């Protein structure tokens, strides 16, 4: 059967339409009146597209292209910041690298570039279908090119990326702290503002001169806040000031009951929290924690009758001790070693003291000594028994269990405590401990029964015995003295700031937390002592206990290199 006939039988209507349409199309394409207009249209379009002036007019209305411009000074090839670049209706301003990006239609356009104290340019350019490189334009300065330099006020090192704004001109320093700004020639000086990330802004006066002048070298002080006690109002207040001595404020006003000699202020590593021990109620000292982010104040363990603060752990726990002096000395709980979580406001007991006996003439009492903040939020302390009967506490009639003097560590988070050294309380009155770095201590024990001394090294949670010679070598090599404020840990918890009296001077050292890598950073007279850290790059020292100075952690050659921040207690 014929395929055509077969398809007609299956789809009669479709077949008729298809063959009817095919006959019409065949007739159309063989008609010269169909091809002639189409041919003329194609030829006309080809001619228009082949001519650039008409090609871009036809296509440019709907074809846009990114056009990147870099504007530099003809005088010194430096990028020009804030130059106004206009192409048709589109305008953009150059960034700190002198670059501006514009989205414009393709074709022939007029570009204009203007900047104060520079000669403007205006020209016709072609924005092609494809742009593969940045177009560079050079404009000539009409004012005076003034060289400037910006340095760190503390370290005296150059500061890069400092933005300098003056009289409508804007420049940025390079890695050497240098910049060249174009200013008008008809005046001698002009005001300017210096801004840089991590530094306090500063207003300066630029002397308009084309040569390098010392007066056009400016210094910026790093951002940082110092907290301290001040009695400049008559009362002892908690004040704050910027590292450059500006914006002094009173964070907490004194009540008039505070004592100059018993008030203590201890900032946390990042100064977010301040521990304040002060008599604010007129009866006795209490412990407070101030949150510097919102100036809130919280009283810690208000029922205690006495306090001693030891420091802050890296995770924001205040380590302190409370005393309950209204309790009989032979009872448990007369003193407790505590931790205060500043973020949660919760106090916890690290170690609770015990007591036994019946009266002040027949007792034994436990107390805590050698409290040292180690690395990794560990606290080292010794638990020591003392009492009547010449300290032979196990001779008490009511006591049959052997009491132990112990050296312990406890974690500020988990509160887990463990003893790494234990000896009978009858034979040993206590421990002598010296800190070496923040992970190592050396311990000596005197046995009163046989009059012998034992020596130990506790290093990174491991205890080992040693001899007197090694013990003394550790003491001689260690720059970290034992004491409540004898060392200050950096905010990143990997360096220790210490001071040591050598040959009539206070020598300031920075050492690693393991007691190694000691580096002397300053030799100061005895009127100076260490005070604190500001970030990990700068340290504070006090003079005569009433003036604060800042110096780079990299070191200072002498006292003249110190920069005064403020006066505090007079």
In this structure, the dihedral spanned by the alpha carbons of residues 300, 306, 312 and 317, taken in order and rounded to 10 degrees, is -40
pLDDT digits (tens, 9 = 90+) for 58-78: 555 667 788 999 999 998 888
Distance CA(129)–CA(146), nearest Å, equals: 41
Count of C-beta atoms within a 10 Å radius of residue 46:
9
pLDDT at 254: 94
pLDDT at 317: 94
- pLDDT under 50: residue ranges of the chain: 1-11, 14-19, 48-49, 391-394, 397, 479-485
The angle formed by the CA atoms of residues 75, 80 and 86, to the nearest 5 degrees, is: 115
Q: Specify the DSSP element, H or E, that contains 171.
A: strand 169-172
**pTM, 2 dp:** 0.76
Q: Are strands 296-300 and 286-291 parallel, antiparallel or unpaired?
A: antiparallel
pLDDT digits (tens, 9 = 90+) for 102-150: 988 888 889 999 998 999 999 998 888 777 789 999 999 999 999 999 9
pLDDT digits (tens, 9 = 90+) for 144-172: 999 999 999 999 999 999 999 999 899 99
SS3 letters for 236-304?
Answer: CEEEEEECCCCCCEEEECCCCCCCCCCCEEEECCCCCEEEEEECCCCCCCEEEEEECCCCEEEEECCCC
Max CA distance (Å), the chain:
134
Structure tokens at 16: 């008729």
pLDDT at 395: 52
- Which residues lie across from 319 on neighbouring strands? 311, 339
């Amino acid at each position: 059967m014929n395929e055509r006939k077969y398809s007609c039988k299956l789809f009669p209507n479709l077949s008729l339409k298809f063959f009817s349409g095919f006959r019409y199309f065949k007739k159309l394409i063989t008609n010269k009146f169909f091809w002639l207009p189409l041919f003329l249209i194609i030829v006309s379009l080809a001619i228009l597209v082949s001519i650039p002036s008409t090609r871009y007019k036809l296509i440019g209305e709907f074809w846009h292209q990114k056009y990147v411009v870099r504007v530099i000074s003809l005088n010194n090839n430096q990028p020009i910041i804030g130059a106004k670049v206009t192409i048709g209706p589109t305008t953009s301003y150059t960034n700190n690298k002198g670059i501006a990006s514009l989205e414009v239609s393709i074709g022939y356009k007029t570009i204009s570039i203007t900047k104060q104290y520079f000669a403007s340019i205006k020209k016709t350019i072609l924005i092609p279908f494809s742009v593969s490189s940045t177009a560079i334009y050079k404009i000539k300065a009409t004012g005076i090119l003034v060289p400037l330099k910006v340095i760190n006020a503390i370290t005296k090192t150059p500061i890069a990326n400092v933005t300098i704004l003056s009289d409508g001109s804007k420049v940025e320093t390079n890695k050497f702290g240098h910049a060249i700004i174009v200013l008008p020639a008809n005046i001698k000086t002009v005001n300017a503002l210096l801004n840089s990330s991590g530094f306090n802004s500063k207003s300066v006066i630029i002397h308009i001169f084309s040569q390098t002048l010392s007066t056009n070298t400016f210094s910026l002080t790093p951002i940082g806040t110092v907290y301290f006690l001040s009695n400049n109002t008559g009362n002892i207040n908690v004040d704050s000031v910027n590292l450059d001595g500006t914006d002094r404020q009173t964070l907490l006003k004194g009540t008039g009951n505070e004592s100059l000699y018993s008030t203590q202020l201890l900032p946390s590593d990042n100064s977010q929290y301040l521990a304040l021990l002060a008599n604010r109620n007129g009866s006795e000292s209490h412990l407070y924690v101030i949150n510097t982010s919102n100036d809130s104040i919280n009283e810690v363990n208000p029922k205690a009758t006495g306090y001693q603060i030891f420091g802050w752990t890296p995770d924001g726990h205040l380590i302190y001790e409370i005393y309950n002096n209204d309790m009989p000395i032979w009872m448990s709980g007369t003193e407790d070693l505590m931790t205060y979580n500043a973020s949660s406001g919760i106090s916890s007991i690290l170690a609770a003291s015990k007591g036994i006996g019946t009266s002040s003439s027949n007792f034994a009492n436990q107390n805590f000594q050698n409290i040292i903040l180690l690395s990794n939020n560990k606290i080292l302390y010794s638990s020591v028994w003392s009492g009547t009967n010449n300290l032979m506490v196990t001779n008490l009639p009511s006591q049959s269990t052997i009491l132990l003097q112990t050296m312990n560590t406890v974690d500020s988070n988990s509160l887990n405590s463990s003893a790494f050294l234990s000896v009978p309380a009858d034979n040993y009155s206590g421990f002598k401990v010296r800190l070496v770095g923040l992970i190592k201590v050396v311990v000596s024990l005197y046995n009163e029964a046989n009059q012998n001394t034992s020596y130990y090294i506790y290093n990174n949670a491991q205890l080992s015995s040693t001899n007197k010679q090694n013990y003394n070598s550790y003491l001689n090599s260690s720059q970290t003295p034992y004491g409540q404020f004898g060392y200050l840990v950096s905010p990143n918890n990997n360096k220790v700031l210490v001071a040591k009296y050598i040959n009539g001077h206070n020598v300031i050292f920075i050492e690693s937390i393991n007691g190694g890598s000691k580096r002397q950073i300053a030799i100061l007279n005895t009127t100076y002592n260490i005070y604190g850290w500001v970030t990990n790059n700068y340290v504070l020292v006090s003079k005569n206990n009433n003036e604060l100075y800042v110096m780079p952690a990299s070191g200072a050659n002498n006292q003249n290199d110190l920069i005064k921040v403020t006066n505090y207690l007079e």
